[in-house]
Structure 1
Amino acid sequence: MVSETSAAGGPGELRRSLGVTDAVLIGLGAMLGAGIFAALAPAARAAGSGLLFGLAVAAVVAYCNATSSARLAARYPASGGTYVYGRERLGEFWGYLAGWCFVVGKTASCAAMALTVGTYAWPGHAHAVAAGAVVALTAVNYRGVQKSALLTRVIVAIVLAVLAAVVVAAALGGGAGPGPGSRTGFSAGGVLQAAGLLFFAFAGYARIATLGEEVRDPARTIPRAIPLALAITVVVYTLVAVAALRTLGANGLAAATAPLSDVVDAAGAGPLTPVVRAGAVVAAVGSLLALILGVSRTTLAMARDRHLPHVLAAVHPRFAVPHRAELAVGAVVAVTAATVDITAAIGFSSFGVLVYYAIANVAAWTLRPSEGRPRRLIPVVGVVGCLVLAFSLPAQSVVTGALVVAFGALVYAVRRRPGPTRAGLA
């Protein structure tokens, strides 16, 4: 394991260069872009006027997951997140399954964010723009995590300014109210499905945990950075969701393809529309930047343990980044973004990430008080919440996600068979 006091790291190790502010901003960059611009309208279609209840449920589950992840990351400050925690606390299979769910789920997230960039920047060529964005951001990450953190600072500042402008415009403009024929009622199933879709928006704090090997003083930094980033995001999401519901009504928000642009239009602030569209692009770029960072670090950890090709475990001697893992992840995401549908990507991603966090909560349950165990209720609510939300998602997402998780388990079983088969695949 990497020494917690090492700043530069030895050969094959990552450099510890991120403080609390950098870690919080990386988490914000991942969460803000994913949520407001990609998940708000589908969640409104599921929950109607119960959208805010869905947001509250997602926030509670995210808080439990964040607390469990923070305690585990402080105990195991190495790249890989729940892949490491599951392996250390529950056994090799559960660590592997968590890593598998993270890599495949977050690869889908990367594709969804890249497609968000393309849709807002150049709708007629969304897939081509999406692939180009992945290539450009992979190049940024290749040059080192400090450059990525610097770019994330700029992105977060721009996104927060744009979201503030949307909230102010909605507050000063006229509100649509419920409107005739609006869905004023809602069902528990709709609220849970909305919560599952909105969880896609909260999952960015995982980037902080997966960067555990690049954070200074991880035992102190990570438990502070994760809840702080989550708290800021909850406040921002709530303000924007209230503004959108007040201005568009539940039906108008559910029907919107670019909901925040529609908000400023309906509020009589049309000149802000291009600014909001540009902000959506910047937000999605920030999210994509952080997502590629997280997936490549988990890929690095799994490659070190030979659950993925060991050639991906290399760390660049000059830039101190897992350069081969980053290039491989970038290539897969670019191809996926050029071919998939954004709605399917979001649903599939949510299923995989919720299973990932269910394993994290079980791992946190096994911590002893001397190891920083959270209150028992937190991992219990976390694991139950993750599983309920995962199976409340649209049926296609549940079936596809379950099949991919089962395939990952089958791959593990084949690789663990004794004899030539395992040796040949290792």
Structure 2
Amino acid sequence: MTQELRRSLGVFDAVVIGLGSMVGAGVFVALAPAAAAAGSGRLLLLGLGLAAVVAYGNAMASARLAARYPASGGTYVYGRERLGPFWGYLAGWAFVVGKTASCAAMALTVGAYVWPEQAHAVAVAAVVALTAVNYGGVQKSAWLTRAIVAVVLAVLTAVVVSSLTSASADLGRLGSDGSGGGAGGVLQAAGLLFFAFAGYARIATLGEEVRDPARTIPRAIPMALGITLVVYVCVALAVLSLLGVAELGRATAPLADAARAAGAEWLVPVVRVGAAVAALGSLLALILGVSRTTLAMARDGHLPRTLAAVHPRFQVPHHAELAVGLVVAVVAATVDVRGAIGFSSFGVLVYYAIANASAWTLSSRWRAPAACGLAGCLVLAFALPLSSVLAGAAVLAVGAAAYAVRAGLRERGGRQGHD
């Protein structure tokens, strides 16, 4: 008999887990490459707004589906139930590979801020440590994420206040001073920034561990998304007012550079610590979400059945968590941070395209917003840098081919069984 996970998370904890995923990823990682793509502060903010609109549509689709299907796995479960086994599998595959890249990016961000010369080694150590935390139970993870979010928001508040009150701040720097721009730049910036908003998926993938999911999930997702958008807008305005879009696009540590430009040298080491803590928060919640989707796929036989095991004491999918931690540690030892962002965004946008297609089947009144969400996901996915699109499409094709091979073997085995 399949073991179920313990329902221990309320609205507040679910919102905090979503914030832990989104705040660190967006502010400290995706803002710089998005600025380089936009080429103008105003276009960067427009891209941020567009990413938020697409994310909100996806959030509503996810909330409706999660309330209907409150089980671990997120869109893997929704696609399977609403569209058929292949689409559920493809969503799960896109999520696992895309979010594995996200985990690696977050781990490397920790390394870059804590010990730049040994970034890969620190990244692997962070993955091992947080896998151990998740192994101890989701409630422990929620408490640690709560502390991380509090620290990060305090650091970001200090950056925003010191930047906007600095004599060097000039909102006139929102104008064009970069090399990108235009509609293509806005779409590419939005696609990269969507990486930052994808944390609300953690709430949906924890559907089996949330109390009263039909009420909790639809409330927690838009709350987490709204808070994150306000934070992003404030930070983007503060950093742009000091650095301008061209310097922001080149920066490897934009918030630290903004603090320095504001004359707040005391804040620079604080920002470094805050960035590392934020990335740890994202990594913690990301590993949590990937392991739950892995659990759901293993239950259905798309991954080894042993990954569906639930620990009898901690009530967590411990085999899945150990496997995910191992894979992320290997990837974090070998990849580049910025390259991982585009690849992750492509996979996650495909994942949400399937979520919107699933929501379209619920009832006629959901079809218009679901169609808009589906179109938005596909447009942003294919507006990403060409290398990200090609790599993402190739990995999805490999997953689809593996599914076809397994399906063929099952069908052949079924025919032989009847002979």
Which TM-score bucket, shorter chain as reference? over 0.9
AA at the equivalent of 2:283: L
How big is each residue's C-alpha offset from its partner over 1:136-176, in whole Å with a ceiling of 9 and x where there is no partner?
00000000000000000000000000000010011111225
Deviation at 1:185, TM superposition (A): 7.7
How big is each residue's C-alpha offset from its partner over 1:251-293, in whole Å with a ceiling of 9 and x where there is no partner?
1211211000011111111110000010000000000000000
Higher helix share: 2
Structure 1 segment 204-215 matched on structure 2, within 5 A: 204-215=199-210
Are 2:326 and 1:310 equivalent residues in the alignment? no
Structure 1 segment 52-71 matched on structure 2, within 5 A: 52-71=45-64
Deviation at 1:13, TM superposition (A): 0.9
Are 2:16 and 1:21 equivalent residues in the alignment? no
State how far apart, in whole Å, the 2-side matches of 1:11 and 1:152 are: 28
Q: 1:112 matched to which residue of 2? A: 105
SS in 2 for 1:268: coil
How big is each residue's C-alpha offset from its partner over 1:18-37, in whole Å with a ceiling of 9 and x where there is no partner?
00000000000000011000
How big is each residue's C-alpha offset from its partner over 1:234-253, in whole Å with a ceiling of 9 and x where there is no partner?
00001001111111111121
State how far apart, in whole Å, the 1-side matches of 2:48 and 2:282 are: 19
State how far apart, in whole Å, the 2-side matches of 1:422 and 1:101 are: 28
Q: Structure 1 vs Structure 2: percent identity of aligned residues?
A: 73
Q: 2:94 matched to which residue of 1? A: 101
Deviation at 1:188, TM superposition (A): 0.3
State how far apart, in whole Å, the 1-side matches of 2:59 and 2:173 are: 34
SS in 2 for 1:417: helix
Are 2:407 and 1:416 equivalent residues in the alignment? yes
CA contact (8 A) 1:415 1:422 kept: no
AA at the equivalent of 2:392: G
Structure 1 segment 185-200 matched on structure 2, within 5 A: 186-200=181-195
State how far apart, in whole Å, the 2-side matches of 1:343 and 1:422 are: 44
Structure 1 segment 8-407 matched on structure 2, within 5 A: 12-49=3-40, 50-173=43-166, 174-176=168-170, 177-178=172-173, 182-183=177-178, 186-368=181-363, 374=366, 376-407=367-398
State how far apart, in whole Å, the 1-side matches of 2:69 and 2:405 are: 28
AA at the equivalent of 2:28: F
State how far apart, in whole Å, the 2-side matches of 1:310 and 1:180 are: 55
How big is each residue's C-alpha offset from its partner over 1:319-339, in whole Å with a ceiling of 9 and x where there is no partner?
000000000000000010001
CA contact (8 A) 2:173 2:242 kept: no
SS in 1 for 2:266: helix
How big is each residue's C-alpha offset from its partner over 1:368-398, in whole Å with a ceiling of 9 and x where there is no partner?
37xxx64x33211111010000001111000
CA contact (8 A) 1:416 1:422 kept: no
152 and 422 in structure 1: CA distance in 2 versus 1, 3 angstrom threshold? farther
Unpaired runs of 5+ residues, structure 2, are: 415-419
State how far apart, in whole Å, the 2-side matches of 1:159 and 1:179 are: 25
Deviation at 1:422, TM superposition (A): 6.5
AA at the equivalent of 1:407: V
Q: 1:7 matched to which residue of 2? A: none
State how far apart, in whole Å, the 2-side matches of 1:217 and 1:54 are: 35
How big is each residue's C-alpha offset from its partner over 1:272-319, in whole Å with a ceiling of 9 and x where there is no partner?
000001000000000000000000000000000000000100000000
CA contact (8 A) 2:37 2:180 kept: no
Unpaired runs of 5+ residues, structure 1, are: 1-9
State how far apart, in whole Å, the 2-side matches of 1:422 and 1:211 are: 35
AA at the equivalent of 1:55: L
309 and 179 in structure 1: CA distance in 2 versus 1, 3 angstrom threshold? closer
SS in 2 for 1:117: helix
CA contact (8 A) 1:11 1:317 kept: no
* TM-score with structure 1 setting the length: 0.94
SS in 1 for 2:39: helix
Q: How many residues align?
A: 410
State how far apart, in whole Å, the 2-side matches of 1:289 and 1:148 are: 7
Mean Cα deviation higher: 238-247 or 124-133: 238-247
Deviation at 1:179, TM superposition (A): 9.5
CA contact (8 A) 2:174 2:244 kept: yes
How big is each residue's C-alpha offset from its partner over 1:26-69, in whole Å with a ceiling of 9 and x where there is no partner?
00000001100000000000002110011011000000000000
State how far apart, in whole Å, the 2-side matches of 1:184 and 1:267 are: 25
CA contact (8 A) 1:15 1:214 kept: yes
411 and 253 in structure 1: CA distance in 2 versus 1, 3 angstrom threshold? same
* TM-score with structure 2 setting the length: 0.95
AA at the equivalent of 1:116: T
169 and 13 in structure 1: CA distance in 2 versus 1, 3 angstrom threshold? same
Mean Cα deviation higher: 215-224 or 376-385: 376-385
